[in-house]
Chains A and B, each alone.
Chain A
Amino acid sequence: MIDILVQQIFNAMTIGSVYSLVALGLTLVYGILHIPNFAHGALYMVGGYMTLIVMLETGVHYLLAIVASIFVVGILAILMERLVFHPLRNAPPTHDKIAAIGMMLFLEALVQLVWGAEYRPMPTPFGQVVEFFGLTVTMQRILIIGTAIVVMILLNLFLKKTMVGATIIAMSQDREGAFLVGINANKVAMLTFFISGGLAAIAASIASPINLVFPGMGHLVILKAFVIIIIGGMGSIPGAIIGGYILGFSESLSATFISNDYKDLIAFLLLVVILTARPKGLFAKGVH
């Protein structure tokens, strides 16, 4: 019993790490532009495919392929901001959601056209099984948890300790104030989208070896990421991280102790309960 519990806690950490990374990208964009980017799941999906394809086509190492994927998806995200969200910055709130949905449908169809609709496994050099504090786990799962923690620390350092990072924080705190002190809104928006795309690419690349790569892989992930940022407060960075792990734990434990069939429902039930009690989400800021 205790063995299963420890194993499940480890699983929860793995799932939670992936969720947190995706939610972080989503929450960063929401913090800056107040756009819920419905196309974020498509970025996640493209990230998974890029790593897989770069690895298969050029034969480079898994980790190098991830770096390539980060740049491709990051640039794709910048393009999305420039071509779609920037022209819509003054439109009614319904419009950018619909535009994002259009982008998502397009990217999914494109990936399906180019690489097919099959579920594809992603090879990983970290497949070996190791004993870890009495647990039998694959290296890949350790890599997921490790990478997520390192990325989160780096992101935090970047946002808190560098001038460029501080502009992102400044703009999410107070748009007009940021303009007043001379922050270039376009540059910050592009940078934020790049980071957001990069985080999605990392999350997809490290999660794919234990899941699979297919055109619809972003659907559930993005829905859950939305649940997370609502739990953690839209735009809040620590909220996204904590929310990701909360969801990871509740899913993993309910899959073991309640029913594996309905484990995907947990996230949504959690959301329904939270929004019923607090229509603006937990930890909502006073403004807006």
Chain B
Amino acid sequence: MEKVLTNRNLSMLLLAIAILFPLFTDNQYVLHIFSLTFIWTIAVHGLNLIGGFTGQLSLAHAGFFGIGAYSVGLLTVKMGLNFWLALVLGLIITTAIGFVIGLVALRTKEHFFAIYTLCVGYIIYLLLYKWEELTEGVRGLIGIPVPAPIGPITFDTPRNQYYLLLFFLVLVIFLMHRIMNSIIGRTYIAIRNSEELAETIGIATMKQKMVSFVLSTFFAGLSGGLYAAFVRFIGPDISYISVTFDMLMYLIVGGMGTLSGPLIGTLLIVWLSQYLQFLQNYRMLIFGPLLTLLIIFYPRGIAGGYQMWRAKRYMRKTQQLMQPVNPVSMKEEK
């Protein structure tokens, strides 16, 4: 029985539910919210990679989200490019900017890195806001086309958009899974735990942090590009600091440094926000203290807490088995 409930089977089950779900509902609102959740989850995965796994809290994430969104928006609306071409170009632009900023930002550490990236995020917001000739400033970009059809598949119905976004989300989760279960993933965790130590055992920390940072901006750009084509209207607000804080909250609630955390946290908070619509701008009255309390009392988040619980149970079981043979190890565990 125990073997049936493995992580792998659970993910497959969830994926099956996600695929079958639109066949049973015609509720456009529900599909819309789920699609939005998928978009945000992709961005939160990026934040998780650099902040949760590599331990470098980047507060410029919404900025890169904005760059991705505006690249796709401008390339499709102003230059009339095909969405897919625009998305690829947008990703190249975002990661190129990410690379340049990373080169400088990652030389700074801890507090300096957080403050530096916070300021970079603000610069990006100010540029999107003030550079009216290019970005239309506060009016925003209107009429971004939906993704162009691939062969016979079109993306103009909510259901098809849902599947498209689900596809990208699964791709990102798969990618994250492969990264974190490889030696590269271990490297990131080593850097998070102690950069000096990682350096001593021969990890090129700067290079690895660069890869992690650029990948995180790639996810942010992808998420932004999809957002532009899905919502079809973008304004400079999408790159404001508060969006980074929203993403951070999804991540903390779900579990920093876990693979399932971003999805759990985003799903939970996005849906909770829908039920708390009546609070509007005051939702931070609840989410602000929630963020603070979680980080003080339960920094692992939901996914991290579950992992801990399983690890403890596993330890107890193995200890029971080992007890007669080796009582010493148990004393050490305590």
Footprint of B on A, CB under 8 Å?
34, 36, 84, 87-88, 91-95, 97-99, 101-110, 112-113, 117, 219, 223, 226-227, 230, 234, 261-262, 264-265, 268-269, 271-272, 275-276, 279-281
Contacts and interface: CB of A to CB of B under 8 A. Distances in A.
B284 A108 contact: yes
7 pairs of A and B residues whose beta carbons are closest in the complex = A106-B288, A102-B291, A102-B292, A109-B284, A105-B288, A279-B107, A105-B284
Contacts of B109: 279-280
B220 to A, nearest CB: 18
A252 to B, nearest CB: 18
Given A110-B285, A113-B285, A280-B108, A99 B295 contact: yes
B123 A106 contact: no
A103 B107 contact: no
Interface in B122-154: 122-123, 126-127, 130
Q: Quick one: which of B114, B120, B283 has the most chain A CB within 10 A?
A: B114
Contact of A230 (B110, B115, B281, B295): B115
Given A106-B284, A226-B119, A279 B108 contact: yes
Contacts of B308: none
15 contacts: A88-B295, A93-B111, A95-B299, A101-B248, A102-B295, A105-B288, A109-B283, A223-B118, A230-B115, A234-B111, A264-B126, A265-B127, A268-B119, A268-B122, A272-B119
Nearest to B248: A98
Interface string B242-274: 100100100010001000000000000000000
B51 interface: yes
B282 A109 contact: yes
Interface string B25-48: 000000000000000000000000
A104 B130 contact: no
B106 to A, nearest CB: 9
Contacts of A275: 104, 107-108, 112, 116
B136 to A, nearest CB: 15
B264 to A, nearest CB: 18
A223 B119 contact: yes
B324 interface: no
B55 interface: yes
A103 B119 contact: no
B328 interface: no
Nearest to B251: A98
A226 B287 CA distance: 25
Given A101-B291, A108-B284, A93 B110 contact: yes
Given A113-B285, A261-B130, 17 more contacts: A36-B115, A84-B296, A91-B296, A94-B55, A98-B57, A98-B248, A105-B291, A109-B284, A109-B288, A112-B282, A234-B111, A268-B126, A272-B104, A272-B120, A275-B108, A275-B116, A279-B108
Nearest to A113: B282
B194 to A, nearest CB: 11
Contact of B245 (A101, A227, A280): A101
Contacts of A105: 242, 245, 284, 287-288, 291
Given A95-B299, A226-B119, A280 B112 contact: yes
A264 B256 CA distance: 33
A223 B241 CA distance: 11
A112 B282 CA distance: 8
B289 interface: yes
B290 interface: yes
Contacts of B114: 36, 94, 97
